[in-house]
Amino acid sequence: MIKTLSISNSKLWRNRLKFDFWSLLIVLLLMCFLPLLDLSDYTLGILIVAMYLAIVAMSWNLLAGYCGQFSMAPAAFAMIGGYIVGLSDFHAQLSLWISVPLAIVGTAILGALLGLTVTRLKGPYLSLTTLSFAEISRVIISNSHEYTRGDQGLNVPSMMNDRLSYYYFFIVLVLLTGVFIYWLMRSKLGGFLLAIRDDQEGAESKGIDIVFYKLVAFTISCSLCGFAGAMYGSFSQLVSPEMGLLQQTGLVISMVVIGGIGSLTGPVIGAILVYLGSEWLREIGNIQMIVFAFVVIIFARFFRTGIWGFCLGLKQRLLQNHHE
Amino acid sequence: MRILQLIKLNLSVVVLGLFTLEAFAAEPILIGLSITRSPPGSVIQGTQIKDAMEIYADMINAKGGLLGRPIKLVIEDNQGLPEKGRSAVEKLITRDKVVAVTGAHQSSVCLSEIEVAHRYQTPYVNTNCWADSVRIKGYPEVINTSPYNFIVADSMAETLKAMKVKRVVAFAENTDYGIGLAKGVGEALKRKGSTIDYKFETLDRSSKDFTPAILALKSNPPDVVVLTMLPPAAYIALNQLYEQGVAPSPKTLVYDGAGMADYPDFWQNVKDAGKYMMTIGMYHPDMKMNDLSKQIAVEYKKRTKNDPNRLIYQAVDSLLVITEAIRQAGTTDSAKILDVMRKSKFEGARGLMTFDTFPGVSYQQWAAIPYVNYQLTDVNQAVGKTTLLQGPGMPLNTSKITMPK
Amino acid sequence: MLFLDLTVNGLIMGLFYALMAVGLSMIFGVLRIINFAHGEFFMIGAYTYALIATSFGINPWFTLPLAALGGAILGLVVERLLIRPLYDGYRSWSFVKDEYAVVVTFALSLLLIHLVDKVIGPSPFMGPSLFSMQRISIGPIMLNGQKLISSGVSIFLLISLAIFIKKSLWGKQIQAVAQNRFGAALAGIDPVKTTALIFAIAGGLAALSGALLSPIVNPSPDIGSFPAIKSYVIVVLGGLGSIWGSMFAALILGVLESYFAVYVSYDYRDAFGLLILICVLIFRPNGLAGMKGREI
């Protein structure tokens, strides 16, 4: 019975990763066919937001699932990325071709700076420091009325004309993120990250510069979140401080836990299901948040490896039955 | 084999979720409400608006509905967040196919919602968003039955000037409404040629302790402390002003610019601190009540056991504008309804509404919205017993102001 | 005398923060996890206190212990249902422990907020005061009776806690489990019961903080988040796991915040505390008091 998705650059891990990646491709392929069901703009919009959250979830998983650093700042970096684009448009009327790369670079720099502080810290200190950073950035953005228009938010120009184009665009974005992370984890860097996650002292003793690699992972994760935020901003044409609420980070973390931490497909499945779920629960009325929170607790308590892990287990069992 | 398993699992779960999201429009005329029903927004405002609109909708349906069809309110929860407001209005328009959207009561949410209404060219009737920026945007789909910062600021400045005070400090919440109104009061004072020393301080509405800012006033208290904050932060500010002895005091009074004195939970939250508070109000029992407002008052009291306040009438009026426009236009077509809204007069619960199309802060706004200024003189005082400083359409009489001993 | 006023006000707020923070610190000291639902213990305390006092007309002084009891019971339930699986048995949870705790306590916090919102209602209310709200002058400082009395109660509680941990048998067991869970078990101490006790104490203290503050901050279902964030800052500043550290950090934070709010800028006041946190961690990664000797 699988417990966690284990370490080492062994063949087992590589095969698992490959299987993971192919599943991701299949999920995305399925999503390409969904519009054939004649979905309304509203439903497409929901799926697009789910995909934005999926990208953030994948970046958080890179940091937490593959590297063991539980940052509480993914939503904050997404917000910062979105605001860089928004501010560029509001103050300087820069086109998206300039402001989006600016967002990626900007969040990478901020991420690196924060990372310098944080990668030297252990365990919960990292969570709390990233939490503080997240709250500070949100409060600053929310209160600097002269520059950011406070809680009114900033308008962001849009890239495409219709909802459907945005939908396929986001599928491509999720795909690219998946490919990028897959490539990263297959490389030597990936192996180091996993080693650090599972046994920091051991990794250090083998000569791996843990601070450097943790910093690299942290920076990459932050700038991916920033990128996602910028794209989301372009889609919804509005960025507001609520993007960076701790509640949002909690949502992202829940998605990864429910979907399956330490995998490629897990965060994506988690994002889609959780977000669709929370919208669907709206129908039930006011108790949507109660039900949602409850479901998350049950999952975290009883399905530790998430849906993805569960599916993997099914597959193992099927294989065994097949061979008998 | 295993891939197939995966595909089935993925597909079935996702499709199941999707199908339950799609719905079919029904026979009744659907009107969309985007209000706050869960934190962090102001749930109490959302509930008042919902209750009031339901009463009015029931009244219409009892008389046979609209164009032979019943009206049905489709209610979405925006949680007081601009992003949720955006998706709520999108759902109402694209999925539920509502004829118009109304109910907005928080300016920042309003601003993101009107974008959606504008994109789909759906009529959007602003119930209670005061911020000037909603009007300045100039979207033709947005009709404002709500009070607006410009006129509130103007009246407050007029009052301050008439009181002949020298120093005023305002506490504004860090939102478009709070800062907009506080700034507006300052600008109005300048416009009227007043020499009052006026400044405002921005406070975070999610903070729970404003004592430091209040302590800073203690050594040299101003003559009036203006509040442009909404509950619950406003209640806390009021309590802490009282606790520190800054206001109300023989020298200093509180002047509220949010009209919270008639909120159902006002007195239970402020108790002694609310005595002597001056406030601008959008409603007072001394205002002329027409048959409609009398009916609403009775029904509201029956259903919720609370006395009606201005938010109730604002809500009814926004729904009324929509239903009357549909009735007059004879159709549910957006462009025609909007045309009627702009050109016609509407006899609402608060008076005769017309919407002027001059661009700027009163674009498509009911410019002559009635207001009063009054002062609370006792704890747990009902609005009807307060001292009217400026009755509806009457001049301001500042001699009636009482100060604490 | 603005400076004096601010200092006193800051110290008073710091006392209330301390009640929250010490509980959080103890939980961390023993379990190495952060409880993201701590703010909700505060909220439940405020609600229990206000509801019982107003519905049954009981004197607020008698309702205070009831509020503490409510918080303690909640703490026990949370520990039993959600936290115990982390440590019961031999299965290794180390990989997923941290984010499990984060997810579960965060979801719990959402659940509690919305449950209270649905069942009791979203409007804020004002808790009954222990003492009349009349203003009392002490020298140049004006305080209200409620704040004065509540501060007194808080000081009493904090000192009692410190004595309890240091001297009593249970206190020593807590210290042992914090230092080395397995070793303590070998010595015959039941780590599970001790953990449960800690949750009960933490819950009770946070609930009391909520009850005492309820006449001052007008609680509503989401009132828990502001003291919670302050507690996180305090607990890291004071050194995770150190009670004395947390107490002093709480007082310092309360005072510094007051100064910052007036002398620098009101808008960014909440950001200020968090900024201090980051600065301190850059220079002293283990907080001010640190985890020297891993003592509580």
**Which range is least confidently modeled, B14-28, C54-68, C254-268?**
B14-28
Percent of chain C's residues with pLDDT above 70: 86
Contact check, Cβ <8 Å, B212/C9: yes
B81 versus B319: the higher-pLDDT residue is B319
Average of per-residue pLDDT values in chain C:
80
Judge if B89 and B227 occupy the same domain. no
Phi first, then psi: what are they for B147, rounded to 5°?
-60, 155
Give residue A2's pLDDT.
Answer: 32
CA atoms within 13 A on the CB side of C157: 27
pLDDT for the residue C240? 67
Range of the domain at C70: 18-223
Interface mutation target, options B211, B218, B266, chain C, most CBs of C under 10 Å: B211
Query: Chains meeting A at 3+ CB pairs closer than 8 A?
Result: B, C
Q: Which chains touch C (3 or more CB pairs under 8 A)?
A: A, B
pLDDT at residue C266 in the model: 66
| Per-residue pLDDT at C260 | 82
DSSP assignment, residue B365? B
Query: Is there a single domain that holds both residue B277 and residue B331?
Result: no
Nearest CB to C34: which of A127, A256, A301? Answer: A127
Contact A121 C271 (CB under 8 A): no
Distance CA B39, CA C116 (A): 11
Q: What is the mean pLDDT of residues C266-270?
A: 69
In a domain, A75, yes or no: yes
If asked whether residues B223 and B249 sit together in one domain, one would say yes
Indicate if B230 and B375 belong to the same structural domain.
yes
Within a domain: C89: yes
Most confident of A103-112, B139-148, B354-363, C51-60: A103-112
How far is residue B101's CA from residue B124's CA, in Å, rounded to a whole number? 5
* Per-residue pLDDT at C292 exceeds 60: no
Least confident range from A83-87, A92-96, B84-88, C142-146: namely C142-146
So what's the pLDDT on residue C132? 64
Instruction: Quote the domain boundaries for residue A130.
Output: 3-244
Residue A6 pLDDT level (bands cut at 50, 70, 90): very low
> Would you state the torsion angle of the CA atoms of residues B54, B55, B60, B62, taken in this order, to the nearest 10 degrees?
110
Could you tell me if B221 and B73 lie in one domain?
no
- CB-based contact A301 C118, cutoff 8 Å: no
In chain A, the number of structural domains is 1
Closest partner residue to C107 among A117, A131, A293, by Cβ? A293
Residues of B in contact with C145 (CB under 8 A): none
Band of the pLDDT at C233, cuts 50, 70, 90? confident
The stretch A73-77 carries a mean pLDDT of: 94
For the whole model, what pTM was predicted? 0.83
Same domain, B58 and B157: no
A208 vs A69, higher pLDDT: A69
- Minimum Cα–Cα distance from A260: chain C residue: C96
Q: What is the dihedral of CA B393, B395, B396, B402, to 10 degrees?
A: -90
Mean of pLDDT values over B279-308: 85
For residues B161 and B273, state if they share a domain. yes
Q: Does any CB of chain B come closer than 8 Å to the CB of residue A33? A: no
Which pLDDT band holds residue A313 (cuts at 50, 70, 90)? confident
Q: Report the CATH number at residue B266.
A: 3.40.50.2300
The closest of A166, A170, A176, A164 to A25, measured between CA atoms, is A176
Residue A179, both tokens: 């490919």
Closest CB to A153: pick one of B1, B76, B112: B112
Q: How many domains does chain B have?
A: 2
State residue C130's pLDDT score.
75
Q: Are C111 and A294 an interchain contact pair (Cβ–Cβ within 8 Å)?
A: yes
In a domain, A316, yes or no: no
Higher pLDDT, A306 or A27: A27
Q: Is the pLDDT of residue A173 over 90?
A: yes
Report the residue from C114, C270, C282 with minimal CB separation from A139: C270
Residues B211 and B303 in one domain: no
Reported ipTM: the value is 0.79
Q: What is the mean pLDDT of the segment spanning C58-86?
A: 86
Neighbours of B61 (CB within 10 A): 15
pLDDT band at B50 (very low <50, low <70, confident <90, very high): very high
B390/B329 same-domain check: no
Residues of A in contact with C103 (CB under 8 A): 250, 253-254, 257, 296, 300
Tell me the CA distances in angstroms from A203 to A171, A208, A214, one per residue in order. 36, 6, 12
Query: Among the listed ranges B153-157, C139-143, C249-253, which one has the minimum average pLDDT value?
Result: C139-143
- pLDDT value of residue C90: 40
- Asked whether residue B168 carries a pLDDT value surpassing 90, the answer given is yes
| Residue of chain C whose alpha carbon sits nearest to that of B37 | C122
Contact residues on chain A for C104, CB-CB shorter than 8 A: 296-297, 300-301
My answer on whether B307 and B383 are in the same domain is no
The single-letter code of the amino acid at B39 is P
Q: Which residues of C touch A287 (CB under 8 A)?
A: 114, 118
For residues B254-281, average pLDDT: 87
B106-133 core/surface letters (b: 16 or more CB in 10 A; e: else):
bbbbbbbbbbbbbebebbbbbbbbbbbb
Q: Which residues contact A298 (CB under 8 A, 6 or more apart)?
A: none
Is the per-residue pLDDT at C19 higher than 80? Answer: yes
Chain C interface, Cβ < 8 Å to B: 1-2, 5-6, 9-10, 13, 113-114, 117, 122-126, 133, 135, 142, 144, 147, 216-218, 220-223, 225-226, 257-259, 261-262, 266-267, 269-270
User: Mean of the pLDDT values across residues C248-252?
Assistant: 90
Number of folded domains that form chain C: 1
Residue pointed to by tokens 């993201």: C36
- Averaged pLDDT, B355-360: 83
pLDDT at A179: 93
Average pLDDT of the residues of chain B: 85
Weakest-pLDDT range from A212-221, B64-73, B294-303, C231-240: C231-240
Tell me the average pLDDT across C152-158. 89
Q: Given a cut of 80, is residue A282 above it in pLDDT?
A: no
Structural domain containing residue B29 = 2-147+288-353
Report which listed range, A54-63, A157-166, B309-318, C224-233, is most confident: A54-63
Distance CA C245, CA C289 (A): 5
Answer yes or no: is B238 within a domain: yes
Domain contains C37:
yes
What pLDDT sits at residue B17?
Answer: 55
Q: Is B321 contained in some domain?
A: yes
Per residue in A254-267, pLDDT tens? 888 888 888 889 99
* pLDDT value of position B24: 34
Element (H, E) at B18: helix B2-21
Does residue C112 belong to any structural domain of this protein?
yes
Does a structural domain hold residue B222? yes
CB contact under 8 Å between A39 and B18, yes or no, is: yes
With pLDDT > 90 as the criterion, what percentage of chain B qualifies?
Answer: 26
Measured between CB atoms, which of C144, C222, C225 is closest to B243?
C144
The pLDDT of residue C92: 44
The yes-or-no verdict on residue A228 having pLDDT over 80 is yes
Indicate whether B20 pLDDT > 50.
no
Confidence bin at A110 (pLDDT 50/70/90): very high
**Is B360 contained in some domain?**
no
Instruction: For residues B37-61, give the mean pLDDT.
Output: 87
Q: Do residues B277 and B292 share a domain? A: no
pLDDT of residue C96: 56
SS3 call for B100: strand
Instruction: For residues B304 and B386, state if they share a domain.
Output: no
